[in-house]
Each structure stands twice: as structure tokens, then as C-alpha cells.
Amino acid sequence: MKEYGEGINACLCHIYGIEDAEEAYKQLESEFVKGYCDETKLSDGTLLHYNSVWDDGYRVLLRCKHCRGLLLLQVSTYTSMSDEGHDGHYTDYLPVCSEEEADLLNILLGPGEFEEHPFRHLRGTNHKYCWYGKEQPHPMDIEELKRAIAEKYKDKLQPKKG
């Protein structure tokens, strides 16, 4: 098991040192920090994006009870309309280093972008877990996240005329 107690990875949850994703999920004991609404809006009510991929879902910020690491969790549920009833349950645990980083990533990442984040993160599909993403997680630059949000939503962030 890798150690993440020093340097750039000091904020990572201990599960990122466990190679087997199923075991990492079993080792994760978390507590609720805060929830995000079903959708991300500007203060004037302008919709930026929904916070789940399929029919239902949500995002929450969790804190590991073991190491105090933070995880931004997105849960999405797909309800099948077929007779076979192939419903899907998807979870993505994205490591973050602060509540501010989680808040900004929640704004920046639409539902299809969340699970495709390049950082290595724990992904569950119908309660089977794997590691997803190739980049080693590290703290994100807060000002860089703010610039990315401003660029992505520049049309929606401009003052309305009229």
C-alpha cells in the first residue's frame, strides 16, 4: 500500500493507496460534509448543468472517517424502460483537497465530464468497483479552476441586456 502522508498527495484519502478497487471501496468509511442540489445554477437562476448523468442522482462531499480525506461523490441512476429492467447504478468518487476545490469542480464539471475526469478515481457500476482515470490525483489550483469556469460559461456569465 502506498503512503500519502506527505507532500503534494497529503490530502488524498487513504483508499488511493490500495491497488484493488473493490478492497478500496470496502475500506472507505465516510461521513457527509455537504450536499449539492440536483442542478448547478448561477445566483440569478441560470442553469449551468444537472448533477447526474441519467434519470436520477446527486452529488455530495464526503470526508473519510479514517484519514479525513475529502471525496466528491456523484451518484447516477439509470431506469430502464425495457421489460428486462436493466437499471444501472453508477458512482464516482473524485478526490479533492478542500471544500472550495469540491465546490469549484461541482460548478465546472457537467455530469458527463465528472466521470471522465483524468484523475484516478474510484468508480462503481452496479456495485462493482474499479479505478478509473490515469493521472495521479493532486491538489488543483483554485485560481486555475476559477479561470476554467469563467471560460467555459462565459456566455452565461455575461450580464443580461435589456
Q: Answer for the pair 70, 11: CB distance below 8 angstroms, yes or no.
A: yes
Distance CA 37, CA 60 (A): 9
Helix (H, G, I), strand (E, B) or coil at 156: helix
Residues sharing a CB contact under 8 Å with residue 34, sequence separation 6 or more, in sequence order = 60, 61, 99
The DSSP symbol for 40 reads: E
Of residues 84 and 113, more confidence is placed in 113
Which residue(s) pair with 88 in the sheet?
78
For residues 60 and 76, the answer to whether their CB atoms sit within 8 Å is no
Residue-level pLDDT at 139: 81
All structural domains of the chain with their residue ranges: 8-157
> What is the predicted pLDDT for the residue at 3?
41
> Which pLDDT tens digit goes with each residue over 114-139?
777 888 899 999 999 999 988 888 78
- How far is it, in rounded angstroms, from Cα 74 to Cα 107? 13
For 20-57, the pLDDT digits (tens) are: 999 999 999 999 999 998 889 888 888 898 887 767 78
Best CA proximity match to 39, nearest among 141, 104, 107 = 107
Cβ–Cβ < 8 Å for 80, 118: no
